[in-house]
Structure 1
């Protein structure tokens, strides 16, 4: 036969509250006492610690629709023309669906951009040259005889 071991008792359940005694759920909240110190002071062991807070002034920008459009115009001048955007978009889509390998698509796009910029630079140079030539013609017409009379030196 085994010796009887310590017997365990079931845990005690709290007794139900009697009628008329307030429980934690039914008790009214206790009124908060106002602290005797100022809110920025804290008393610890008879000493007073003062806390200082820093309030940074951060300006909040006021942006109007006119401001947005005036700053967006220079940004749109950087973008390529809609025709070139369509070309690059189509080239990118072809690379995504693997109709063209991506290194070839990058090479074609870069070559197109280089050629387009070179053509634009040539057109600008021709236009500047034409304007200079036209300016020279106007200057020579003014110095030819029969032009405006020059004041005589006395």
Structure 2
């Protein structure tokens, strides 16, 4: 190779090095960020029980009873702490829920069975409405 052809790549490298020094050692990346306007509602305790807060009351009514919530919280805490494996905790929780629902359905059926017996023993408790078939809850 001739001396002129060797100088050209070296000259290009020197120019590239000078350009990098000008740009603080690297390439520049320009970022564009989006800033959407999101309104955040301000909710007071009074809003929870009046007007639009009626939906909040309906949502909280679907929560389990405090005792049941504490039970499931304790079960989850034991799982997180490593005292129970998650499949075992899941099986315990599911079995508890199934047993609770079956017990509730059985007690409702017994109450419905007791009510017609009481109505037939009292002569003044006769109704004029046609009898409707009873349905038991199966959830």
Distance 2:88 2:115 in 1: 41
Distance 1:76 1:102, change over 3 A: same
Counterpart in 2 of 1:105? 89
Q: List alignment gaps of at least 5 residues for structure 1.
A: 1-62, 144-154
| Matched ranges for 1:34-49 at <5 A | none
TM-score (norm 1): 0.46
TM-score (norm 2): 0.51
> Do structure 1's residue 126 and structure 2's residue 96 form an aligned pair?
no
Deviation at 1:133, TM superposition (A): 1.5
Q: List alignment gaps of at least 5 residues for structure 2.
A: 1-42, 126-139
The higher radius of gyration belongs to 1
Bigger relative CO (Cα 8 Å, ≥ 6 apart): 2
Q: Deviations over 1:52-109 (max 9, x none)?
A: xxxxxxxxxxx98212442233322321110010000000011111110000000000
More strand by share: 1
More helix by share: 2
Deviation at 1:113, TM superposition (A): 0.4
Distance 2:53 2:113 in 1: 35
> Do structure 1's residue 137 and structure 2's residue 121 form an aligned pair?
yes
Distance 1:113 1:135 in 2: 34
Distance 1:90 1:67, change over 3 A: same
What RMSD in Å do the two structures reach over aligned CA positions? Answer: 2.2
Distance 2:119 2:88 in 1: 46
SS in 1 for 2:54: helix
Distance 1:73 1:129, change over 3 A: farther
